[in-house]
Structure 1
């Protein structure tokens, strides 16, 4: 459907059926249709007609200009940056065959109890708010915004308690999204002594409404990398040539991304044959990165999306007599902690019913929590083997987010003997 261009104030005359309106693109003088809809015009827009781009079917291109378009199309293969290293943080391939021990509530309880004993105080509750993050209580913010701000304020509070919230650091935000966590870290450090400050944001997806512009041109050296953590070699990132200590941060770093981030921080490129058989010995932070790792604070989530190949706690699982198959079972059941089927409202004093022979909803939630604890315990053990004091903390209440566990770590103080 079309209307004369003169009746459309210079806008395209093509009617977009899906949106029930005319195209809003401005047309060239003397034309009725924009370049995207030029096929509707006699002569195909004066250039042999338009065809679907072979690199991306979501847009079209003038047939006679195809060769030039392919050289600049945003969907073309681009040269890999220097810091791209295929699968550098992926871990060793998964064996094809595994045996599965019987996973029952009793066996899971026993394994989680053993994990708790090794962790000491496995999950404490400590909501530590940064004093410079008062926006969390601003009544002008909506409920969703307040929940995000409370999480960010608590993460900053834990960084501050560990002595990590200071200048003279490079904060690496994994799974940065819009970059709000880095934004509040920067805000919290305003007015501090004029030491160098760096922000490195890592995000594999294209993100709208980023807050990156608030960092540029100020008192911070800033860079955003559009790359999957799995392929990121931090030793090749130009910003890190300043050799500042690294602080890894992340808010709801989903599933395997947490393990990839830990590998990225603590490991350099593996040598051939290094990962055969037993899980590899880990490299020290100073060997992996010029500035070393000063610490980290990663808010965890989506354990059902963890993968054995990437998981950093495989040695911990092996010590418990567990392997890839049990790991897979724990990942699946971990989702019960936050999205299990809830029981219908019950009369007072009534028994909580199970569903189809499965444990009751409350029991499924407890099982899911145990599975999460087991998976996170392996991460804590990994960090302790690197010489760090690591712990798990419920950093906000479940009403703010059910995924409310924060993994923190700072270097272990040297013993008096050394």
Structure 2
């Protein structure tokens, strides 16, 4: 099957061909016809399966074919949980819509508002945004969502995890009730199914990968090690195996900063990326990593689904995530679009319960290794894991987004940093 078989117009096919794509992925084959029909949709797919093009291409075609209001207004809204994902989707909209007379813009926190305000005043057809900054601009009178025809919630489960559910509900009240709704989620959790029932009208359901499964081409391994020897083991594995372009996940922002500094001192060029970093610093780190100037990028979970790196060969869990589903999202950064990938987890005695939760979720027993010279001490007792992203699910209104310190005042001020 080719993209032309899906009913896409010539201008969109030109853009797709220019990107070197010839055959649609499974999510694209199923999603594009559904979106073109104007139906609501609930879709689950592994990261790296091409889901962004799966909604971007038919969304652009529907907007291009539809009746346009006299004044150019936002007709399609794509909500994403992170700045990086917003930028990724915005790039796809610009790339695939380059031969169409549609305007798009990206809105997120962490950067100045004025260019975003100017773009809104000039008129937009497609708006890609994070919820917090979008609500800020609406409250200031700069955003009109009264004629939105298509709403896309991308990485919806991540938005719920990050406490955006109330923001989403407020934004829904600003849009017409009659519209097309597309909900994309890496997992079909109970929370997502509840949201889908509230939001979607007789949706088409698409699931191109087994729920909570890990990609088949990812080689997964566990290295048993004492907590105090993790950094030395990581440096050893990177240097001994000649790993380059390694994405490393830590549990905390402070841990990410410290690990990046320590690796750099061992002649392993490293930078950290997390919610407390400015947008400029995050962009510079990601650009250096993608360009091959940076060997290791150390990240917290805020980056787990917002990074788009082609053929990323190595993902390392320096700390196991507190929530088992996040393991799937983290290692989903590698083994994308048919490429092979390697996911290594450094596990100390404190994390045995977390490892058990992960193995039950993915229905696999992961291979365990002990690296010579790094044998764990059997007499060490487990200690409680503190400062995790979230130890238990809490009411979203009380959960502080990453990058939020305890003494920062006001929910609106916190969201503006997204």
Q: TM-score, normalised by structure 1?
A: 0.29
Which of 1 and 2 has greater Rg? 1
Q: Which protein is richer in helix relative to its size?
A: 2
Higher RCO structure (Cα 8 Å, ≥6 apart): 2
